[in-house]
Amino acid sequence: MVRTRFAPSPTGQLHLGNLRVAVFNHLFTRHHGGTFVIRVEDTDRERNVPGALEAILEDLAWAGLHWDEGPDRGGPFGPYLQSQREERHREAALELLRAGKVYRCFCSDAFLSAVREEGEGGAPGTGCPGACQQLDPAESERRVGDGDAATLRFPVPAERIRVEDAVRGEVGFHGHDIGDFVILRADGRSTYNFAVVVDDIDMEITHVIRGAGHLSNTPKQALLFDALGARRPVFAHLPMVLGDNRKKLSKREGAAGVAELRAHGYPPDAVVNYLSLLGWSPGDDREVLSREELESELSLERVGASDAVFDLEKLRWISAQHLARLSLDALVAAVEPFLDRTKFPLEGQDLRRGVEAIRTRLHTLGEVNEHLELLFPEASALAAGVEEVRGEGLEAMRVVAGVREALARLPTWEAEPLAQTVRDAGKALGARGPALFHPVRLALCGARSGPDLGLVLAALGRDRTLERLGASRLTDLGLDGVWV
């Protein structure tokens, strides 16, 4: 069975680069009917942020990336907090020591720093800078017994290390460029690469899908899998995602946080859809895919190795397409949490018709208030629109009065008959195009353009429409009814 893991560190908010890795793991796992695991890498205690883990889990749940095992729900391979697995890491490191697969290193941090400063640390080289690997085992034991601090180092062979990558094919690294590396610090804490491998083995992870930034860790981890007698997982390194500045997308480079996208009202299915396209293609020209389509079709075979560029406008476009696919009732329910009810106290049918009028303009749910202002502008904007109508002269005022009279005769108030009535009134008045629609829109909403006029009229309702169209006070000029 396929088992994947997403392993966030609770050092801050989840950003889009992180979420993209989770998206690929989740979709790939669901495609194969496998198990998706959340494992938290929280051993860097100084950088851990209180509440960050809870926020990360909340963001993942919002995105619909529901996990099967994790710190909040347990599972057969727990614990799922790396900090609670430290004893297991030490035990595994000592097993390697007893098997002669690692050695004790007594080089102090000060000595290692001095070596680097002398220019001998640029290319690590194989072996330990202090030749600790050549120590007699009895001497090593004696020094530990005397209280000398020692790390455990893994000896890297001076040969080419080959790793098969599901995205990039075979990748190779030379041991000389890696050097012997520490797996257990002098204080007994495991290093990142060792803890990850031990946890992946214990949790039976079959596929390690992650960003290209982890590629340099892979030869060390591959050697550790081999040393621990475990089968290597399938490694798949996703292409790097770049920002507008062509630098790697990251928190430091201004990558949007998932919480920020939520606040703006991007639908989660749209975000998942867009992130899946950063490195993967369905093999045709489709760009808008449902969750079900993504889970059915995403595979590592169609993941490319070329860098992808994050395009906010493309995300906005995909978001608009997903919103357009929603039923009106579903869209109304989705926008309600974003609605500013102090400005737009709409309920029931009024809210439904208001959302229907503006729905084609929405890129995010959070834009609902901006676009509702097209229907319900400030009083000053309405007054300015009326003044524009009056300023355009008698013909524009005559058009508004004629349309108002025609609408007042309607027995029902639905979008299509309303739009047709406006057109018929314009024909009778000899007004068409801008000569018809600009004055009417200015009187209704204080602007020359906007959503479909029939939908606008339906959303405003009979009383509000007739009141606004009557605001140009053509009766003051003795022109009431002259349109016919």
Catalytic residue IDs: 251
CA-nearest of 200, 205, 239 to 220 is 200
Q: What's the CA angle centered on 311, arms 307 and 316, to 5 degrees?
A: 145
CB 401 within 8 A of CB 483: yes
Q: Strands of 160-165's sheet, edge to edge?
A: 35-38, 3-6, 207-211, 234-238, 160-165, 169-174
Q: Which residue has the tokens 């908010």?
A: 13
Q: Which residue has the tokens 């180092």?
A: 153
Residue partners of 463: CB distance under 8 A and separation at least 6 = none
Q: Which two tokens stand for residue 231?
A: 């089968």
Strand partners of residue 103: 153
Q: Which stretches of 99-176 are DSSP H helices?
A: 109-115, 137-145
Phi, psi of 125 (to 5 degrees): 70, 160
Question: What is the residue type of 282?
Answer: P
CA distance 181 to 317: 47
Q: E strands along 67-133, which residues?
A: 103-105
Q: Which residue has the tokens 């349309």?
A: 403
Q: Which two tokens stand for residue 7?
A: 């392993």
CB 152 within 8 A of CB 97: yes
Question: What is the residue type of 26?
Answer: H
